[in-house]
């Protein structure tokens, strides 16, 4: 059973930075893509960034140039470095991995950008 646990969320002022982590257990995710999603109150969950097993990345237009997704396969962990944060980045952030045809989600971590 794959388990994903996010951490690193919190309250930050506009223009600040946070680094989210997603630690996986139960199986090695080295060969599978990982992604970060977010869901703001009253809105649908949306893809923020995605990274393949070999390191290719793609981002939502709203975060390009500000967020960076990465992974450490030895640590079975994915990261989301978020810089120049804006109030509209406020949301619960979730990590996801697809193993075969099965999607696994973490429980989410709250990010609040406010002065």
Torsion of CA 76, 2, 54, 86, to 10 degrees: -80
Q: Which residues pair with 69 in a beta bridge?
A: 80
If we measure between CA atoms, which residue out of 21, 48, 42 comes closest to residue 106?
A: 21
pLDDT for 30: 87
Question: Counting beta carbons within 10 angstroms of the beta carbon of residue 19, is it exposed (0 to 12), middle (13 to 18) or buried (19 or more)?
Answer: middle
Per-residue confidence of the chain (115 residues) as pLDDT tens digits?
Answer: 899 999 999 999 999 999 999 999 888 888 999 999 999 999 999 999 999 999 999 999 999 999 999 999 899 999 999 999 999 999 999 999 998 899 999 999 999 999 9
Cβ–Cβ contacts within 10 Å for residue 62, how many?
13
């Amino acid at each position: 059973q794959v388990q994903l646990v996010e951490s690193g969320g919190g309250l930050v002022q506009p223009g600040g930075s946070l680094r989210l982590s997603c630690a996986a257990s139960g199986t090695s995710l080295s060969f599978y893509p990982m992604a970060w999603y977010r869901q703001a109150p009253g809105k649908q969950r949306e893809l923020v960034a995605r990274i393949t097993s070999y390191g290719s990345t793609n981002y939502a237009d709203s975060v390009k140039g500000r967020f960076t997704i990465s992974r450490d396969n030895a640590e079975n962990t994915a990261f989301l470095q978020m810089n120049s944060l804006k109030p509209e980045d406020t949301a619960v952030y979730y990590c996801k991995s697809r193993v075969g045809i099965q999607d696994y989600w973490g429980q989410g971590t709250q990010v609040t950008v406010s002065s």
